[in-house]
Amino acid sequence: MSILELPSTTDDCILDALTPADMLKYSWTCKTAHSTVQSYMRRAFSVDKLLSRYFKPLDIDQFRQLQCQTGTLISGSTALQLFDRAVYPESDLDLYVEYRFTRTIAAWLLHIGYTYAPRPESENIQTIEVNAFRDYPPNRLNIPENPSDDIFFRTFGDAFENYEGSSAVFNFEKRSPYRKIQLITSMQPPLRTILSFHFTCVMNIITHDTAYSFFPWTTFEERCALMCKARNTKRDNAYRKYTRRGWSFVTLNDLLLQKKDDPFSSFAFAAQSASSMFHKPCITYSSMRYVGDRWCWRIPISTGIEPRKGYIESNSWTMNFGNYSYPSLHCKLLVSRKLKFCYLACGNNEDLQDFISYHMGPCAWDMPYEPM
């Protein structure tokens, strides 16, 4: 029997052991290898397979439509599993959504059989309707008719210490087998919460039509992550968990030494610039990023349906490197009555702000400068 007549899954045990870059190189060797890799990738990077632990097949299609309608993002361990072709049996499904869409997602989870499970520290909580939306109406915040240059969309004090800017975390559970979904809501764009994680290896998202990894080379080729916050007792569990899963952690100083000459690194530009900061200690260097840029790894999701295209790639931000022990995120938050979602916009871009204000009329801007 010719090797070409073997089942398409014959090469899986070999391809499973290759890094994404090595797999790409192998696909370039000949047409047969290219076809083999393409077939493997459709199976290995399957969002439907990932979600099948939590939803039935018909529910997956409904969930994807809801993702499109509400801008819900999948992130955390679940998104990491997709890119890493790994399975973490104990992991939850983490969903990130703007607060005003929380009721829509929560109601759907209850409809398909999940039960709202208040966290242990909650008091006198019986139902999600009583607790989750008692103090937080699901509608958009009131946007002023004629917003001034003053900050409108504010960050909330020390909220970055708990899911980095989220307003609330709602748990949903299902028995036989046990499954848990965390609905993490924020008054800000959910992407802002994700970009405020403790380290970069979990900065990956899955939308209704595309999966994005923001630091793929460092995360999946080098198996390391940049630390974005100081370690403390509360965060140590997360560091230990991802160390067990195969990642090592680097500091900003390590980054400057190791990545400044690496053309593949997602940090290369910033590291090259920041390497001279020792000669100019008063200057902070930055690297502009946006969803889907040249540093991202994009995996299109084949759904069999045609939901409308999302707008996640309209978000941009700046990663600042310089006189800090850790990188910082710099961006503006854009809110308008004419926009369905809130957006991140790269800070200090007055031309962009003027362009949007000219075409859309009154908008509300904020220019926070917070640690990642």
Weakest mean pLDDT among 63-77, 114-128, 144-158: 144-158
Phi and psi, residue 308, nearest 5°: -65, 155
- CA–CA separation, 93 vs 76, rounded Å? 8
On whether residue 5 sits in a domain, the answer given is no
pLDDT higher than 80, residue 67: yes
pLDDT higher than 70, residue 69: yes
User: Helices 57-70 & 102-111, crossing angle to 10 degrees?
Assistant: 170
On whether residue 16 sits in a domain, the answer given is yes
pLDDT higher than 60, residue 142: no
Phi and psi, residue 217, nearest 5°: -65, -50
Residue-number span of the structural domain to which 15 is assigned: 11-44
pLDDT of res. 14 = 87
pLDDT in tens, 79-95: 999 999 999 988 999 99
- Regarding whether 172 and 39 lie in a shared domain, the answer is no
Q: Chain-centre distance of CA 197, in angstroms?
A: 9
pLDDT of res. 280 = 36
On whether residue 2 sits in a domain, the answer given is no
- CA–CA separation, 290 vs 286, rounded Å? 13
- Regarding whether 339 and 212 lie in a shared domain, the answer is yes
Residues 6+ apart with CB under 8 A from 307: 64, 65, 68, 208, 209
On whether residue 3 sits in a domain, the answer given is no
Q: How many C-beta atoms lie closer than 10 Å to residue 163's C-beta?
A: 20
- Regarding whether 194 and 304 lie in a shared domain, the answer is yes
- Regarding whether 204 and 332 lie in a shared domain, the answer is yes
On whether residue 4 sits in a domain, the answer given is no
pLDDT of res. 320 = 73
- Regarding whether 241 and 111 lie in a shared domain, the answer is yes
- Regarding whether 120 and 20 lie in a shared domain, the answer is no
On average, the pLDDT of the chain sits at: 76
Residues 6+ apart with CB under 8 A from 325: 230, 251, 252
Q: How many C-beta atoms lie closer than 10 Å to residue 311's C-beta?
A: 14
pLDDT in tens, 206-257: 999 999 999 998 899 989 888 888 778 778 888 889 999 999 888 877 766 6
pLDDT of res. 208 = 93
pLDDT higher than 90, residue 347: no
pLDDT of res. 266 = 61
pLDDT in tens, 317-345: 887 766 556 777 777 788 777 788 888 88
